[in-house]
């Protein structure tokens, strides 16, 4: 295992979700007003399902929690069915006791996107930093919309997702041509500033990216590999995603 990345290999995506939720539960027990950094996409959905279950069945409260999302499409408002704000409301926020004013996501309709990114960084600082970032992993090693070429010092900014990422996301749109070609994202440096990082990867199609991130050299060619220097970073993997680890 390279650097500070700690790997846990589990049987399936439900086991990954259960352990990811446990990390969050343990954090909230220590700090009910924790700041969580959250991802969208199919990988974290089972984790959000488990958090909703814990809230509904076991009384896990999010009433003091503050959340920040990793990214958003530029050009989509929060009511658009493919916006990340809509995703979070559908899969998590709408089922919890979290205060809407404590959920922070980039404004995809910002008139001045660069200023929106500066304001987002300021918001993170104002909250005292992120206690735990929950990440997914792209097939090309991207984290959030930090595509290959993103540096360890990168900050929130306007980006152009790689064609591979656009294609992967097109399955969520009725017409692939509707996928926005620009996005807003926190930077790799913004993520590295978090006190803890938990990255989820499931499925054989993530195996190569996982191996590059964990065992490959630190390189901007695989942004997830830049997490190797973080002192408290966990990769939670199902067996297919871990298949190429030595």
Residues known to be catalytic? 71, 140, 142, 147
Sign, CA torsion 23/12/37/151 = positive
C-beta neighbour count of 148 within 10 angstroms: 15
For residue 69, the surrounding DSSP H or E stretch is: strand 66-69
The set of residues, in sequence order, having a beta carbon less than 8 Å from that of 203 and lying 6+ positions away, is 13, 238, 240, 241
SS3 content of the chain, % helix, strand, coil (to 5): 40, 20, 40
The set of residues, in sequence order, having a beta carbon less than 8 Å from that of 100 and lying 6+ positions away, is 93
What is the side-by-side strand order in the sheet with 157-159?
71-73, 183-185, 157-159
For residue 60, the number of C-alpha atoms closer than 13 Å in the C-beta half-sphere is 23
């Amino acid at each position: 295992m390279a650097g500070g990345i700690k790997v846990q290999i589990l049987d399936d995506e439900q086991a990954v979700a259960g352990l990811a939720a446990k990390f969050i539960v343990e954090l909230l027990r220590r700090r009910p007003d924790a700041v969580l950094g959250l991802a969208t996409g199919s990988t974290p959905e089972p984790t959000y399902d488990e958090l909703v279950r814990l809230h509904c069945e076991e009384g896990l409260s999010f009433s003091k929690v503050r959340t920040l999302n990793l990214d958003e499409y530029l050009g989509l408002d929060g009511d658009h069915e493919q916006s990340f704000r809509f995703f979070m409301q559908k899969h998590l926020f709408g089922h919890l006791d979290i205060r809407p004013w404590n959920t922070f996501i980039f404004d995809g309709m910002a008139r001045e996107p660069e200023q929106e990114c500066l304001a987002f960084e300021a918001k993170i600082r104002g909250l005292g930093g992120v206690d735990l970032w929950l990440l997914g992993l792209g097939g090309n090693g991207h984290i959030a919309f930090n595509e290959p070429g993103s540096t360890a010092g990168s900050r929130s900014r306007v980006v152009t997702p790689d064609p591979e990422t656009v294609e992967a996301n097109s399955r969520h749109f009725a017409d692939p041509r509707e996928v926005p070609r620009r996005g807003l994202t926190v930077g790799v440096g913004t993520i590295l500033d978090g006190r803890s990082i938990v990255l989820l990867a499931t499925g054989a199609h993530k195996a190569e990216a996982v191996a590059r991130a964990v065992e490959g050299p630190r390189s901007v060619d695989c942004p997830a590999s830049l997490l190797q220097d973080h002192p408290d970073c966990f990769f939670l993997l199902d067996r297919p995603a871990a298949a190429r680890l030595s």
